[in-house]
Structure 1
Amino acid sequence: MATSAAGSAQWWGRLQEGTGRATLQELGKNGPVLVALSEVYAKAMGEELRALAAVASEALLVGGVEEIPGIQRVPADAGLRHALGGTLTSLNVRMAASWLQHCEDGQLTSPATSGSWKKWAASESRPEQHNRKPMTDDEVITFVRQQTASQPGISRTRLLRQLRAEGRACEQSRFANLYIKTVGQS
């Protein structure tokens, strides 16, 4: 695991070596390119994104970390999660899919597409505010035991949603670990 931007870039470069896949720059020479990236991946791929910007006639970055001249960027907007569903981890991908639905004129980055997206996003974005009560590991384990006993077969994801709907807080990966510790892999 890389611990710096330079280390992340080196990791990305090595990961791409020998894959036989086209680079973003090669793709950009052949037509429109849409890229959905987290901040971490955008930092690791900074050099490749700048190379794309130098050749692409039309490029869109959903998420990312910074503006890159030559690439239109749509910053991640957690406020759209209620409209698009899912977790924050995959929000950029769902935003990209929604962007494509707003391509009214068949152009990825046209003023019409951008305008349609901005109008929709402005009407749908709702800041998330959670006043949930943090829980200890023991409290989470007790919750999992009680709920799985009363609702056999309930999924881990649905159980976490239920916990949060009750105004209690637990980070997703911590909940997953405690769930597995309590009921095992399922």
Structure 2
Amino acid sequence: MAQGTASDVATSWSERLAVAPAAQTVGDLYGGRGFTEARRAADHVSGRLAIISAGLGLVDSETKAPAYSLTTARGDADDIRLKTGGGRSEWWAAIQAASPFAAQAPMLGDGLILAAVSSAYLEMVAAEWSAWPASDRARLRLFSKEAPQGAGAILSDAWMPYDDRLDAVRGDLAGTQGDFAQRALRHFATEIAQTGSPYEDAAQVSKALHGLSAREVPVRRRMTDDELKQVIRENWAAANGQSTIMLRRLRDTLGLACEQGRFQGLFHAVKAERVQ
């Protein structure tokens, strides 16, 4: 796609979507624990599962759509903002208007709207959702690590105050920061008796976490890519050239910070060096 305004790029992208084969439901395009947790929550309450998609807009999981590769993740080659030069909120407004698959959340049902969002996705949808009528905002229950701020501050009443104590509620609710929002949503859907009042629901969440302690997160030393590659080289034999052992050694034995995706790239770069 050529560069342009968010509206122009969204229109061009949506024209591609409209003619591409749509052999799978959107729900079949996604995997991972976060999506599994959201599906489990929807099944428990017999609700409709919808997906906030940077490439399709808000779309029902049973809608058939083409596979695609588009994101708003910083540093990703498929970050659409490299084409538009704008922000996430601007792109969301454009793709919601142009996508042949997009729906509006309040139109998907008349019950509560339970939304699990990362900080990036909250930034993307906050402006649109803030403009909903008060009656629709009152149906929203928002699950994210941080409360809405800035353009989305009006949504703060809908935010459910989960924090890292969620890991201590039950063993099956423990997880990573990447699936925190969806784990919180599942706990709410399965364990909290929704009252219809966001304030009372938030109080029930606080009650469920009361008296629990968040697990201690080790403070690990950060290094540059070049420094980490040198450490990987020096510990290659000790880890027997195995990535899983190497990552555990970096984190647990050496006390170094290294996100898994970043580690995999560095590990394979060192492995390629050794082959050469």
Q: Give the alignment's TM-score, normalised by structure 2.
A: 0.51
Tell me if structure 2 keeps the 8 A contact 1:80–1:126: yes
Tell me if structure 2 keeps the 8 A contact 1:134–1:170: yes
CA deviation map 1:95-126 (0-9, x unaligned): 11122222235768472x43432122233342
Q: Does 1:120 align with 2:208?
A: yes
Give 4+ residue runs of structure 1 displaced > 6 Å after superposition.
none
- Aligned residues: CA RMSD: 3.6
Q: Alpha carbons of 1:106 and 1:18: their partners in 2 closer, same or farther (altered >3 Å)?
A: same
Q: Alpha carbons of 1:109 and 1:125: their partners in 2 closer, same or farther (altered >3 Å)?
A: farther
Question: Residue 175 of structure 1 aligns to a residue in which SS?
Answer: helix
Q: Alpha carbons of 1:54 and 1:178: their partners in 2 closer, same or farther (altered >3 Å)?
A: same
CA deviation map 1:137-170 (0-9, x unaligned): 2113444553244xx6x6x4x7535542335122
Match runs of 1:1-186 below 5 Å: 1=79, 2=81, 7-16=87-96, 17-27=98-108, 30-52=110-132, 54-56=134-136, 57-63=138-144, 65-66=148-149, 67-69=153-155, 71-75=157-161, 77-81=163-167, 84-104=173-193, 109=198, 111=200, 113-126=201-214, 128-134=216-222, 136-137=227-228, 138-143=230-235, 146-149=238-241, 156=244, 160-161=247-248, 163-166=250-253, 168-172=255-259, 173-183=261-271
CA deviation map 1:10-39 (0-9, x unaligned): 222233322423212323x62210111122
Residue 61 (structure 1) shift: 0.8
Tell me if structure 1 keeps the 8 A contact 2:165–2:214: yes
Tell me if structure 1 keeps the 8 A contact 2:114–2:140: yes
Tell me if structure 2 keeps the 8 A contact 1:12–1:45: yes
Letter in 2 for 1:13: A
Residue 69 (structure 1) shift: 5.0
Residue 73 (structure 1) shift: 0.4
Runs of 5+ unmatched residues, structure 2: 1-78
Task: State the identity %.
Answer: 20
Runs of 5+ unmatched residues, structure 1: none
Hey, what does 2:38 align to over in structure 1? none
Q: Alpha carbons of 1:50 and 1:169: their partners in 2 closer, same or farther (altered >3 Å)?
A: same
Tell me if structure 1 keeps the 8 A contact 2:165–2:215: yes
Tell me if structure 2 keeps the 8 A contact 1:144–1:179: no
Q: Give the alignment's TM-score, normalised by structure 1.
A: 0.71
Tell me if structure 1 keeps the 8 A contact 2:239–2:249: no
Question: Residue 35 of structure 1 aligns to a residue in which SS?
Answer: strand
Cα distance in structure 2, aligned partners of 1:129 and 1:46: 30
Tell me if structure 1 keeps the 8 A contact 2:222–2:258: no
Q: Alpha carbons of 1:115 and 1:72: their partners in 2 closer, same or farther (altered >3 Å)?
A: same
Letter in 1 for 2:182: V
Deviates more, 1:8-17 or 1:121-130: 121-130
